[in-house]
Structure 1
């Protein structure tokens, strides 16, 4: 056995990251299955708000993406009832129509070629925090995938069904992976469905923790260098894939129909 008790921390981090490349299983679900699972995962985590919110993922066809059918709740989404739409929200396959608010997703996909999944929801704590017009505070180790990676839009533009809202939100998020929209909710822009799902789960937890901490006192910041280190340590495809697989196993115990 290799002795590591005298090994510097940076080397231990690198060793663990190499081990994770082979020890952690990849996510093998299709894009449709991942999206359906994400809807059920987020439903169980309190992200549902009636028919509000949209979850989309780029499709194999350029300029098109999968999304849920307007009229169905997150707990009703399955791989088979997802829609395929173009960036103008024209239906390419499936039945029904997409949420008209999906229009701003098209703008964000155009602005960010690195983004392959967008999650926009109105969970209780994130929505409550948005009413205070304050940014999300990332001040706990578990939440560091969002450290210096969450933007804030203070001015509410109204219902996001116009092109103006698409331009505004795409500009406000910049190159970050998440944004808190005042008087609205959260948005996550992930490089994969797995990453977006995990970050959306973390976002709502962060908002809940922030509200609890603010009720007790003043939230204290963490050192920037350590926050960035934790961000990079947790934010890897392997870690996001492993976390998604766990959430998927948990969801399938009560939502086995979502993969039909």
Structure 2
């Protein structure tokens, strides 16, 4: 017989969060493996725009991070062809060069010690929305992880390869997890690769929904308190791990197994760890 039908909503939320913390196990994917999988996941999700866009994650050595090699598309990135660079984009491990636009990532990492992974891409619907010089509107339950968590840079500063653009972009992001850049694209900056990947996938869906809804009429606002409740409910590490694990399984089934060169463990396709492994490179 059920004994929770009189339980309050807040208590049920707490119970569900507690169960997720134990029911969803961590795994031992390395940072490089998660970055390579993220590149493939985002490629399949429509974030590909030729060689545009950068995906980075902090390495263990302060002032360094992993990123893809300039000249490779997201569908060509593997855990073995990633580069380890410093804040000046000098290559410390790997072959080739980083995208010069990675410079603003260095600015964001300096401004936000809580950020461990940055994704910047130019997907179709986000790029279309950016051309309207209008902020992202969150008015659907599924999009609430972005509610009051997406800043807006309304003026295009030009190519983001200088320190001026790095200073402007990092300031516009502020303490948010996401940023819509007018006439440009999107930026997601969070505490983990899993969280950034999940939010980037959602960001493109949000832009698509906004374009579809606004073409039909005026988008109606959702109640602030309920939206914030939904934001907090969906913005937990375990949810990001579960989402990422699903996206990774889907990418591997779709033929992106070449992104990984290290054999997976039995837990690697269920959820992910936020801890660097010894495979991540120089210490």
Give the TM interval when normalised to the shorter protein.
Answer: over 0.9
Does residue 3 of structure 1 match 2:18?
Answer: no
Q: Deviations over 1:93-149 (max 9, x none)?
A: 100000000000000000000000000000000000000000001111111111100
Alignment length (residue pairs): 260
Rounded to whole Å, the distance in 2 between the matches of 1:250 and 1:6 is: 39
Aligned to 2:222, the other structure's residue is in SS state: coil
Rounded to whole Å, the distance in 2 between the matches of 1:215 and 1:26 is: 42
Q: Aligned residue for 1:101?
A: 101
Are 1:27 and 1:242, in contact at CA under 8 Å, matched by a contact in 2? no
Aligned to 1:216, the other structure's residue is in SS state: coil
Aligned to 2:215, the other structure's residue is in SS state: helix
Cα offset for 1:27?
4.1
Cα offset for 1:28?
2.6
Q: Aligned residue for 1:20?
A: 20
Superposed counterparts of 1:73-112, under 5 Å: 73-112=73-112
Q: Aligned residue for 1:256?
A: 257
Superposed counterparts of 1:76-225, under 5 Å: 76-225=76-225
More deviation in 27-36 or 232-241? 27-36
Does residue 231 of structure 1 match 2:212?
Answer: no
TM-score w.r.t. length of structure 2: 0.91
Structure 1 stretches of 4+ with a deviation exceeding 3 A read none
Structure 2: give runs of 5+ residues left out of the alignment.
Answer: 262-283
Rounded to whole Å, the distance in 2 between the matches of 1:259 and 1:190 is: 23
Rounded to whole Å, the distance in 2 between the matches of 1:60 and 1:223 is: 41
Cα offset for 1:26?
2.0
Rounded to whole Å, the distance in 2 between the matches of 1:24 and 1:94 is: 34
Are 1:178 and 1:188, in contact at CA under 8 Å, matched by a contact in 2? yes
Aligned to 2:119, the other structure's residue is in SS state: strand
Q: Deviations over 1:14-72 (max 9, x none)?
A: 11111111111224310000000000000000000000000000001110000000000
Cα offset for 1:8?
1.2
Of structures 1 and 2, the one with the larger relative CO (CA 8 A, separation 6+) is 2
Q: 1:96 to 1:145 in 2, by over 3 A?
A: same
Structure 1 vs Structure 2 CA RMSD: 0.8
TM-score w.r.t. length of structure 1: 0.99
More deviation in 157-166 or 9-18? 9-18
Rounded to whole Å, the distance in 1 between the matches of 2:103 and 2:22 is: 39
Structure 1: give runs of 5+ residues left out of the alignment.
Answer: none
Rounded to whole Å, the distance in 2 between the matches of 1:68 and 1:137 is: 31
